[in-house]
Chains A and B, each alone.
Chain A
Amino acid sequence: DSGVTQTPKHLITATGQRVTLRCSPRSGDLSVYWYQQSLDQGLQFLIQYYNGEERAKGNILERFSAQQFPDLHSELNLSSLELGDSALYFCASSVEDLYQETQYFGPGTRLLVL
């Protein structure tokens, strides 16, 4: 158990809908990262927050957004969902905002868009 928690574990929804994925980082970690794992794209970085501020953006669609709250938990919002958004979404956390730090991953949220 990495100490990173994600809810829900599974999510089934329809095209055009909006969902929110939640992540609680390890105790003491200030940095939160979101990744998407899909069969065709593999594991891809979406976005990073550090102590409430957006720090880096990757291949994140405009329909997707995220935020990190004062208690350091983070939410990833996915809207106008399409079939291709079906994937496993991981949250990871690290203590600081340094490239050499280990990122610890949560168990993921499996999203299925029908």
Chain B
Amino acid sequence: AQSVAQPEDQVNVAEGNPLTVKCTYSVSGNPYLFWYVQYPNRGLQFLLKYITGDNLVKGSYGFEAEFNKSQTSFHLKKPSALVSDSALYFCAVTLNGYNKLIFGAGTRLAVHP
């Protein structure tokens, strides 16, 4: 079965430090990978996606993610965290023939001043 894992329930980072939110996937076929962010009482906002091409994808608000096929990972990164980045982050995957997004459980990012 296709699945996405986010191994950390919560990530704590000091403001100004780099952050990484981890995501690994298990699919049969070529994955298309997405990151979304959810702020309290808000819907999911699209951050970035990997479809094909360059393994390093740049997205909104200074976020980027690196697709690693050998490690089946798609970790979200940002060079310098802001307190306003504190939110719930979801990794998701779709496949050819599966238009639905399969989501990970989510990782809560807490950026401390």
Interface of A with B (CB < 8 Å)?
2, 4, 31, 33, 35, 42-45, 48, 55-56, 58, 90, 92, 97-100, 102-108
Interface of B is mostly: strand
Establish whether residues B43 and A99, one from each chain, have CB atoms under 8 Å apart when the complex forms: no
Interface assignment of B105: CB less than 8 Å from any CB of chain A: yes
Considering only residues 29-55 of chain B, those with a C-beta below 8 Å from chain A are 32, 34, 36, 42-46, 49, 51
Establish whether residues B100 and A33, one from each chain, have CB atoms under 8 Å apart when the complex forms: yes
Q: Chain A's nearest CB lies how many Å from the CB of B106?
A: 7
Establish whether residues B103 and A48, one from each chain, have CB atoms under 8 Å apart when the complex forms: no
Q: Chain B's nearest CB lies how many Å from the CB of A94?
A: 8
Residue on A nearest B31 in the bound complex, by CB = A99
Residue on B nearest A46 in the bound complex, by CB = B100
Q: Chain B's nearest CB lies how many Å from the CB of A6?
A: 8
Q: Chain B's nearest CB lies how many Å from the CB of A113?
A: 19
Establish whether residues B90 and A43, one from each chain, have CB atoms under 8 Å apart when the complex forms: yes
Residue on B nearest A104 in the bound complex, by CB = B46
Residue on A nearest B42 in the bound complex, by CB = A107
Establish whether residues B101 and A103, one from each chain, have CB atoms under 8 Å apart when the complex forms: yes
Known: A100-B49, A102-B49, A105-B45. 16 other contacts (CB 8 A): A2-B43, A35-B101, A42-B106, A43-B90, A43-B101, A45-B101, A92-B101, A99-B94, A99-B95, A99-B96, A99-B97, A103-B46, A103-B101, A105-B43, A105-B44, A108-B43
